[in-house]
Amino acid sequence: MKQISWLFILLLTITIINYPNPFNPKGGESATFECTSDSTLETTLYIYDMSARMLYQKVFSLTGGATSRLTWNGYTDANERAANGVYLYQLIDTARNRVGRGKIWIINR
């Protein structure tokens, strides 16, 4: 008798919007990340500079069917203001799966 293995694929939909983009931390602005998910997840937001150095990380929860918001004031975990430029962000769940990524631009005026 042959044993049959079934593979179940879970399709997870997560929408991430960040605004304002660009933003001005020197002028007191913060970037807002709005995330909407089909299911509840514990996630971590990572922000990197263009040399792939991690500047900021924040753990937060996505609630299934609701919009979760997280703000970033443009300062690193070392409490230094990020310089002008383009930064990369990614959202990773606790199972170490990347669930979202994008770019954000800082203009200090």
- Ordered domains of the chain (ranges, CATH): 14-106 (2.60.40.4070)
pTM, two decimals, is 0.81
Provide the sign of the torsion angle of the four alpha carbons 49, 51, 55, 59, taken in this order: positive
Which residue is listed with tokens 């913060």? 30
Is 6's pLDDT higher than 80?
Answer: no
For residue 89, what are its two tokens? 């962000």
Q: Which residue has the higher pLDDT, 55 or 5?
A: 55
Distance CA 19, CA 2 (A): 54
User: What average pLDDT score do residues 37-52 get?
Assistant: 91
